[in-house]
Structures are given as structure tokens and as C-alpha cells.
Copies of this chain bind each other. A is one copy, B any other.
Amino acid sequence: MHIPLSQVATALDARIDGNAELEITGAAEPAQCAADQLALAMSPKYAEGLAKGQARAAILYDGASREEFGLEAALFVARPRLAMAHLSKLFDPGPQIAPGIHPSAVVDPTAKIGEDARIGPLVVISANVTIGARARIAAHASIDHGATIGDDILMHSGARVGAGVTIGDRVILHYNSVVGGDGFAFVTPKPSSVEVVRATMGAETELEHQSWTRIHTLGTVVIGNDVELGSCSCIDRGTIRATVVGNGTKIDSQVQIGHNTTIGEDCLLCGQAGVAGSVQIGDRVVLAGKVGVNDNIFIGDDVVAGGGSNIVSNVPAGRVIFGYPAIKMTTHMETYKAMRRLPRLLKDVAALKKAVPNTDKND
């Protein structure tokens, strides 16, 4: 792929200085840059590497000049990270799946496959499945009966779509991800230890020995447009209604979303986050890596939860939280600093008790 810088500049909404006809084949960090690659030198620190590489063109930071680095051309952008998004899209060849349906795929005759869809080797598509136009489904992916999948979606190898699930357009399901596993819902004949603990906030009681009866999963999963689901991530179907993921929400690897949960639009759920069942999450919520969310709670729009937070109760819109259990981040930091002073505090109080006689009497 050879792309003239003028075209790159348009895609990146960049100002160009120098030879706009120079053709590039990709991008690289300055020190590793080949002569036909565009160097990513958006900060003085990165630009230092230009001397070590072969770059003839670079994206430079504000205030830098192409002459000082001996470049034939330079691009300048307002928001470097956004430029990266556009640039990377330009050069992403995407997965290589041959047009049509690979002869080794097992496609039920009742399945409807959209125009120009590409179905890779050993894919399994069950009865009454509908797949949109230009869908790309890689080797070993499977789609169970009655599922509906939108246009332009991409399923990587080993991704699983359960029966009856609905998935929107332009969705990406990464390797070995799962949409539509059964919910984890069980019940005992009489109240279980979990029910007792919740009702009593931790009191310990002797209970009859009981086994778990399965609550079967009759609901489904509905995923909007432009959603991404990372490798080995799992979304369970709802018990009766659907588990829902809104448009534009991005989910990283090894994330688990429980049954009946609703997630709004444009959220970010980072790696190993886990959301239990029947949770309501608003729009633009960010759960950093390893965040856990208790079942049956509500998280408002625009909440941001720091890495490893354990969210145990409702969170109002706009709140920034952190901790185990998660509280306002600023409160957490105040408490945490105080905690670090605890050993010193213990000494101070011991000294005070010596200095002030008879305090123990007042206990």
C-alpha cells in the first residue's frame, strides 16, 4: 500500500509542510522507521529518535520544524492521538478472509448470508441465522440457530454467538469471545447462605444442607452498532429479557457481563472488568481494568471507575470512584493518605495516654 502524503494529510486533517507527493507505506516509531514509512514524532522525546531511523517524513509536534530534523515533509495535527486513529485505519489491511464461503464451512441451508460476506474455513452457521452484508467471519467461529448479525461485522477465529442473539452493524468480536452463554442463576428450596448473609450483613447462621436448582436462561443478548468485544470476553444472555450493550460501547479482553445487565452507549470496559447480573450502566461510563460491579445496582452516566475498583452500591452520574469498596476518588485519596500516617498516630496516642492520667477509666 503506497499512499501519497497529501492523502494522509487529508485523512488526518493535518497541515503539511514539504513534499506532499512523497509516498509512504506505513508508520513507525522514529528510531525504527524505514525510508518509506511515516515517523511518529509527536513529542520532542520521540523526535530524538529520528536521527537513528531512515524517515523522510514525520508527524511533528507543534513548534518543531522539518528542517531541523532533515525531513522532506512534515505533518502537524491538533490532537496526535486522534491522528493515530485515522492513520492506523488508513494502513490496516484487516484480516485476510477469501471472498465467498469456504468449502469447509458448515452453513445450514436456511441461513441467510448477506451480499459480499466472507465466511472462512471450518466456520459453523446454524439454522435460521441471518448475516449482514460484507460480514467477515474467520476460521472456527460459530453462530447458533436463529441469531441475527448486522452488516460489516468481523468475527475473529473461535468467536461464539449463541442462539437467538442479535448483533448490530460494524461490530467486532475478537478471538474466542462469547456472546450468549447462559446466565449464572441458581436457587435453593429454602433461603441459601447468600440470601441470609445479604439480609443480615454478615451474620453467621447454621443452615440446612441444600443443593442448587438451575434457573434456565430463556432471554437473549442484544448488541448495538459499533460495539467491540475483546478476546475471551463473555456476555451472558438474560433470564427472560435481554442483556443489552448499547451502540459504540467498547469492551476489552477477558471482560464478563452477567445476565439481564444493561450497558449504555459509548462506554469503555477495560480488561478483566466484571459486571454481575441485573446491573444498569449508563452512557459513557468508563470501567478501568479489573473493576468489579455487584449485581442489581445502578451506575449513572459518565461515571469513571479506577483500576481494580469494587463497586458495591449505586453510583450517581458523573462520579469518579476508586477503591475496595469504591468511593469517591478524592475521598479515597484523603483516607488513604491518613492510613499511611496510622503507625505514627498509634505512637502519638500511646504517648498521650501516658501524659494524661486515668484516661482508661473514661473508656
Contact = CB atoms under 8 A, between A and B. Distances in A.
Interface stretch (A2-10, A50-58, A322-330): A322-330
Interface in A171-218: 172, 174-176, 178, 180-182, 184, 186-190, 192-194, 197, 201-204, 206-207, 209-218
A168 to B, nearest CB: 14
Contacts of A353: 348, 352
A78 to B, nearest CB: 10
Interface stretch (A15-23, A61-69, A336-344): A336-344
A152 interface: no
Interface in A70-113: 79, 81-82, 84-86, 88-89, 91-92, 95-96, 102, 104, 106
B212 A248 contact: yes
A243 interface: no
Contact of A212 (B89, B122, B266): B266
A130 to B, nearest CB: 16
The secondary-structure label for the interface of chain A is: loop
A271 B272 contact: no
A222 interface: no
A187 B302 contact: no
Contact of A184 (B160, B162, B252): B252
B318 A106 contact: no
A8 B258 CA distance: 28
A283 B210 CA distance: 10
Contacts of A209: 266, 283-284
Contacts of A122: 106, 122, 124, 140
Interface of A: 26-29, 32, 40, 79, 81-82, 84-86, 88-89, 91-92, 95-96, 102, 104, 106, 120-122, 124, 126-127, 138-140, 142, 144-145, 156-158, 160, 162-163, 172, 174-176, 178, 180-182, 184, 186-190, 192-194, 197, 201-204, 206-207, 209-218, 226, 228, 230-232, 234, 236, 239-241, 248, 250, 252-254, 256, 258, 265-266, 268, 270-272, 274, 276, 283-284, 286, 289-290, 292, 294, 302, 304, 306-308, 310, 312, 318-320, 322-325, 328-330, 333-336, 338-343, 345-349, 351-356, 358-360, 362-363
Given A176-B176, A201-B333, 15 more contacts: A32-B241, A79-B187, A82-B188, A82-B213, A88-B216, A96-B145, A142-B157, A158-B158, A181-B231, A212-B250, A289-B294, A335-B339, A339-B342, A352-B353, A355-B359
28 contacts: A29-B240, A29-B241, A40-B240, A84-B187, A88-B215, A92-B217, A96-B126, A122-B122, A138-B144, A172-B182, A184-B250, A184-B252, A201-B333, A203-B320, A209-B266, A209-B283, A211-B226, A256-B272, A276-B289, A290-B292, A292-B308, A325-B336, A334-B343, A345-B349, A351-B359, A351-B360, A354-B359, A355-B358
